[in-house]
């Protein structure tokens, strides 16, 4: 393993030689009266405040984040369209709790039902969409669990599309944050619907239960939940400048408490932290000698964008290092890991990402391989 300190890109040109400084002093996160809570940066995935994030909790109507995600995936795959008409079954019509007030036997568009799920938190709309997509809510729940597994929601299990209480229906604050981030990333058009404040169907106007949409103009989602056993829950997301945060509060005492707790977490994150994109995906960060190949220099970079979230005012203290596995000998496949990029602040590692080949390099000619073999002996 070869260790090199590099000025990996112009972004860190002055940073790589700055050395380490004392660790920044930050105030404690706000006190949150909830069973569990989490504040996460969307881009870096960094947790800025957390408690009980892996404890099993009832998601209540926050479940509908996954309902919307599955519907969005079906739309993206062209298995359904927003204009499709759904005949409302008696089972969907009879659903209790929050409702869109669809009528049995009526045909309703997928788009209206999706608005009913997202804005009005309609249990009837959720079941109608589940039956449209999967034939039954039970099969739809299995689709929800397949998506949960794919997204790495390791503490989650769904048995319905609505979030109505069931002993086998549970999640965690961590999983809810990951799911919200996935919805924002994978289906931005569907995510935008979560910022809509009101929706009228069948002459009945209902308002989005996420009161942060009225209180904080930077908030553009995402979903509330409430049952007597689950308490008052809220997953919220806000974008200020180039920084997006996701907050989760679970089992608070009231609507006001969940809003105040979420606002306090978001304000804390935006006030005391900043997020930077250091390197882009597949951006060349280094060129390294490759031996016995058709070319002599191999470009290296990262598979994904690299973001870091740090205390405000500490950007100049970032330190980036590059570690290479050398010598690099052909053949090399595109995407093959050949080292790592590490980013630290005040001596504490913030991120480590695999350094990959940005191109495939086949073996060179017999003469080239023999010549490089001799050079390597002397090297």
How far is it, in rounded angstroms, from Cα 316 to Cα 37? Answer: 31
Burial label for 48, CB within 10 Å (0-12, 13-18, 19+), is: buried
Give helix 123-134 / helix 64-76 axis angle, nearest 10°.
40
Q: CA angle, corner 142, sides to 232 and 123, nearest 5?
A: 40
Catalytic residue status for 161: no
Say which residue the tokens 């009945």 belong to: 204
Q: Which tokens is 32 given?
A: 């949150």
- 47 φ, ψ (degrees, to nearest 5): -90, 125
Kindly calculate the radius of gyration of the chain based on its CA atoms and give it in whole angstroms. 25
In terms of Cα–Cα distance, which of 59, 63, 79 is closest to 71?
Answer: 79
Q: Which tokens is 117 given?
A: 């799920």
How far is it, in rounded angstroms, from Cα 48 to Cα 224? Answer: 21
Q: Which ranges constitute the DSSP H helices of 78-136?
A: 90-93, 110-118, 123-134
Q: Which of 61, 98, 126, 237 is catalytic?
A: 61
Burial label for 168, CB within 10 Å (0-12, 13-18, 19+), is: exposed
User: Which residue spans within 208-302 are E strands per DSSP?
Assistant: 219-227, 231-240, 243-252, 273-279, 286-291, 297-301
Q: Which of 44, 98, 121, 247 is catalytic?
A: 121
Cβ atoms 350, 343 nearer than 8 A: yes
Q: Which tokens is 345 given?
A: 């602040």
Cβ atoms 172, 36 nearer than 8 A: yes
Q: Which tokens is 27 given?
A: 């105030």
Q: Which of 44, 64, 126, 262 is catalytic?
A: 64
Question: Would you name the residues annotated as active-site residues?
Answer: 61, 64, 121
């Amino acid at each position: 393993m070869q260790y090199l300190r590099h000025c990996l890109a112009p972004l860190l040109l002055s940073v790589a030689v700055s050395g380490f400084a004392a660790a920044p002093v930050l105030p404690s996160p706000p006190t949150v009266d909830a069973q569990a809570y989490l504040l996460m940066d969307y881009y870096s995935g960094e947790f800025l405040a957390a408690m009980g994030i892996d404890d099993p909790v009832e998601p209540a109507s926050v479940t509908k984040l996954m309902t919307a995600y599955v519907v969005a995936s079906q739309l993206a795959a062209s298995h359904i369209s927003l204009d499709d008409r759904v005949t409302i079954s008696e089972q969907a019509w009879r659903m209790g709790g929050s409702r869109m007030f669809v009528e049995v036997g009526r045909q309703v568009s997928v788009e209206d039902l999706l608005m009913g799920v997202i804005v009005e938190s309609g249990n009837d709309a959720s079941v109608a969409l589940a039956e449209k997509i999967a034939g039954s809510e039970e099969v739809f729940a299995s689709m929800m669990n397949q998506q949960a597994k794919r997204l790495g929601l390791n503490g989650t299990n769904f048995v319905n599309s609505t979030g109505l209480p069931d002993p086998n229906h549970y999640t965690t604050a961590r999983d809810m944050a990951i799911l919200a981030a996935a919805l924002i990333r994978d289906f931005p058009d569907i995510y935008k619907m979560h910022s809509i404040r009101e929706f009228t169907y069948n002459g009945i106007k209902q308002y989005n239960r996420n009161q942060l949409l009225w209180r904080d103009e930077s908030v553009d989602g995402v979903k509330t939940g409430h049952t007597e056993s689950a308490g008052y829950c809220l997953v919220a997301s806000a974008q200020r400048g180039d920084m997006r945060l996701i907050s989760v509060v679970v089992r608070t005492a009231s609507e006001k408490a969940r809003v105040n707790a979420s606002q306090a977490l978001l304000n804390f994150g935006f006030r005391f932290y900043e997020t930077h994109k250091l390197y882009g995906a597949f951006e060349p960060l280094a060129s390294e000698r490759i031996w016995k190949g058709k070319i002599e220099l191999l470009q290296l970079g990262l598979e994904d964008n690299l973001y870091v979230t740090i205390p405000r005012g500490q950007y100049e203290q970032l330190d980036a290092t590059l570690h290479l596995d050398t010598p690099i000998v052909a053949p090399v496949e595109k995407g093959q890991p050949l080292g790592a990029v590490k980013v630290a602040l005040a001596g504490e590692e913030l991120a480590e990402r695999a350094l990959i080949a940005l191109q495939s390099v086949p073996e060179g000619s017999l003469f080239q391989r023999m010549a490089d073999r001799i050079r390597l002996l002397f090297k």
